[in-house]
Structure 1
Amino acid sequence: MGNTADRCDPERRAWIAEAVRVVDADANRSADTHLHVFPLPPSWGVDLYLKDESVHPTGSLKHRLARSLFLYGLANGWIREDTTIIEASSGSTAVSEAYFARLLGLPFVAVMPASTSPEKIALIEFYGGRCHLVDDPSAIYAESHRLARECGGHFMDQFTYAERATDWRGNNNIADSIFEQMRLERYPEPAWVVVGAGTGGTSATIGRYARYRRFATRVAVVDPEGSAFFDAYTRGDRDVTARGSRIEGIGRPRVEPSFLPSVIDRMVRVPDAASIAAMRWAADVTGLAVGGSTGTNLWGAALLISEMRERGERGSVVTLICDGAERYAHTYNSDTWLTTQNIDVDPYLTALRAFQRTGVLTDPTAAP
């Protein structure tokens, strides 16, 4: 009969089965996230929607990613009953992973830049995680690998696995949710979906899903100052590096493995001042207190709407509320912080208010 090797451990398989049930039960307890209508004149013929990912249990879009990464790790046998979970994160992914680690009774360590907002650090610690801060943001990968080796833990590595851990064909992923919620709207098939890229997982999921379902919807990725993604996309060069972004959750100093340019239709570079101005503008117009990456999304969405109106096009644009403003009380919502960073949001606020009246978005830095 030949040699055989049986690695089946009934107790370990039973623990994994229970862990998957616990993670799935968390999703089952949560309703889908809201799709808000952004107030624009109906006569424009262009409608804007905000998919509110801030209402997840851990307050951000990254809740979906963390759930997928845990299920991926469990199904692959990488996460066991005694595994320490390690993640390299600027904040929101770590908050969500700390939540799921606590659900499963597992230790969690977030390797983060020392500049991460104190609000996010407090949230990770609230969920039982430990924050390991590094001065050099580019060192978080090597430090994560080192910690995982030393403790025999599992480095989740969101920047590698984000695009493959999520089932992009459907299964209530974010793309499936958007298109289902748009079904009864005036223009149910969006002309554009606008997202930022941190890992690249969200843009990969939406871009793949649109192609798979044969939608004409295009994906625009907005990229903040200091990120490598925009230059990599325009040059066709994945070896581009940059200093890194001040807008937490999006933008990277290097091109991450999960970033897939082939499923993106357009990229827009957004100044930090525009991101923060749009974040504040959203609160004024909608009453929704949103974070900085949502501001980046909104500036990109306004630009696309302005262009659509110039061409006489009708249709809908969808973008995301990634997280709430409460995480940035000491940074983007602080005028003192803006002064120390030499960021002037007033010209961009003026441009956005003019856009709301006219449907035309102008670059306040452009020569007259």
Structure 2
Amino acid sequence: MAPSPSEPGDTSWVDRRDDSARSWADEAVRRVVADANRSADTHLHVFPLPPEWGIDLYLKDESVHPTGSLKHRLARSLFLYGLANGWIREGTTIVEASSGSTAVSEAYFAQLVGLDFVTVIPRRTSPEKIALIERYGGKCHFVDTPPAMYAEAERLAAETGGHYMDQFTYAERATDWRGNNNIAESIFEQLSLERHPCPDWIVVGAGTGGTSATIGRYLRYRRLSTRLAVVDPENSAFFPGWVTGAADYSTGMPSQIEGIGRPRMEPSFVPSVIDLMMPVPDAASIAAMRHLHDVTGLSAGGSTGTNLWGAWQLIARMLREGRGGSVVTLICDGGERYQHSYYNDAWVAERGLDPAPYRAAVDRFLAEEVWAPPRTP
């Protein structure tokens, strides 16, 4: 609707009001917020550690969201951010660059508010995730290499007159890090009746960097003693970029652990809120993920294994220092998405990965209190 004077004959004020557009946006926001209101908070599981250690390990199970992953929170925040900013309107095509789970969740919310959704996605993305994107009405546009995703998503958004969600830029600002039921606030509310309600560490991976930014900022805002550790898989730019302080660090190589690790330092990654970063071998991530399933029956993806490996390292440090306490990490998504890959011995072997020595190290640690992982090449 073209701008019009606010009063007849008055050209000093311009009224940009569009009642029909505002009405559509109001309804879209209501639907997105109602989805959150229908969903109970995610579970906080206790991982079995030897009781004599005096240490508790908690797993916040983000796989129980309606779209099955931690990215459900991000997609909800990105949609609300885009709607509140007036970037998403009736008829807008939503475009994203995603390695999988964010696209699944954004396709869900696009369908919820009646918009078309297209994601630019690497060809190697798991077929299970592709099927989920399409189940929610999304379309997949494939590229051969992850670095090509960004420019192609921008091109598609311009071509369709759509909105590029750009999770890698907006993840750290779309979520209210001070509270409003973000993941950090939820963790501390759920821990309030535990014997160690203020954990020594929270351990997360970084895909966009949004989760670590939210948790790290919340810890400082609430003046909590908990420290934030970020784990990073092979080929990712986050760990070397954090160590060197190079904001433009790039490896140009894809991560084999879907959902975390990036070939470049992303705009949403906030190094200054992180207390510790730990590189994790891909084979260790797979060993930890499979150990979780064998011990607890919980089925999770490779990024959860990365988280667990980091948590066990920190628990080993606490034991050496003679300290009790608690550690919290995340179940990022469910293992049903990775039956063809991380749970498939042939697939793992084809990629030159050998989880067996790492699995043996975990078993020994939990049985004998000896942390002696294999040396990485």
Q: TM-score range by the shorter chain?
A: over 0.9
* More off after superposition, 254-263 vs 358-367: 358-367
1:279 partner amino acid: M
Deviation at 1:19, TM superposition (A): 0.4
SS at structure 2 position matched to 1:342: coil
Q: 2:267 and 2:166 mapped to 1: Cα distance?
A: 10
5+ unaligned residues in a row in structure 1: which ranges?
none
> Structure 2 residue aligned with 1:264, among 252, 274, 295?
274
Please say if residues 222 and 270 of structure 1, whose CA atoms lie closer than 8 Å, have aligned partners that are also in contact.
yes
| 1:1-368 paired onto structure 2 within 5 Å | 3-242=12-251, 243-365=253-375
CA contact (8 A) 1:88 1:110 kept: yes
**What is the identity, as a one-letter code, of the residue corresponding to 1:266?**
L
Corresponding letter in the other structure for 2:356: D
Aligned mates of 2:50, 2:25 — CA distance in 1: 52
| In 1: Cα distance, 2:145 partner to 2:13 partner | 49
Verify the 8 A CA contact 2:281 2:376 in the aligned structure 1: no
Residue identity in the other structure for 1:50: L
Query: Contact (CA 8 Å) 1:228, 1:244: kept in 2 or not?
Result: no
Corresponding position of 2:3: none
CA contact (8 A) 2:231 2:307 kept: yes
CA distance in 2, matches of 1:313, 1:358: 17
Give the Cα–Cα distance (whole angstroms) in 1 for the partners of residues 353 and 29 of structure 2: 45
Alignment: residue pair count: 367
SS of residue paired to 2:375 = coil
Is the 8 Å Cα contact of residues 112 and 140 (structure 1) preserved in structure 2? yes
CA contact (8 A) 2:92 2:163 kept: yes
Asked if the contact 1:37/1:49 (under 8 Å) is kept, the reply is yes
Runs of 4 or more, structure 1, over 6 Å off, are: none
- Give the Cα separation in 1 of the matches to 2:76 and 2:369: 39
Counterpart residue identity of residue 306, structure 1: A
Alpha-carbon displacement from aligned partner over 1:33-73 (angstroms, at most 9, x marks no partner): 00000001121011100000000000000000000000000
User: What do residues 130-168 of structure 1 show as CA deviations (whole Å, max 9, x unaligned)?
Assistant: 000100210000000000000000000000000000000
Shift of 1:359: 2.8
SS of 2:96 mapped into structure 1: strand
Query: How far is 1:362 from its partner?
Result: 1.5
**One-letter code aligned to 2:310:** G
2:254 & 2:14 partners in 1: Cα distance? Answer: 48
Query: 1: CA distance between counterparts of 2:368 and 2:90?
Result: 58
Contact 1:305 1:359 in 2 (8 A): no
Q: Give the match's secondary structure for 2:373.
A: coil
Q: TM-score, normalised by structure 2?
A: 0.96
Whether contact under 8 Å (2:237, 2:265) holds in the other structure is yes
1:228-277 deviation per Cα after TM superposition (whole angstroms, max 9, x unaligned): 00000010111111112110000000000000000000000000000000
Q: Deviations over 1:164-223 (max 9, x none)?
A: 000000000000000000001010001000000000000000000011011000000000
Counterpart secondary structure, 1:344: coil
Identity %: 70
Distance 2:295 2:219 in 1: 30
Aligned 8 A contact 2:29 2:80 in 1: yes
Equivalent residues of 1:120, 1:327 under 8 A apart = yes
Q: Distance in 2 between matches of 1:339 and 1:35?
A: 33
Moved more, 355-364 or 5-14: 355-364
Contact 1:351–1:364 at 8 Å: present in 2 too? yes
User: What secondary structure is seen at the aligned counterpart in 2 of 1:4?
Assistant: strand
Q: In 2, are the aligned partners of 1:354 and 1:361 still within 8 Å (CA)?
A: yes
Q: Greater Rg, structure 1 or structure 2?
A: 2
Structure 2 unaligned segments of length 5 or more: list them: 1-9
Root-mean-square deviation over aligned CA pairs: 1.0
Give the drift of 1:25. 0.4
Alpha-carbon shift at residue 2 of structure 1 (Å): 5.7
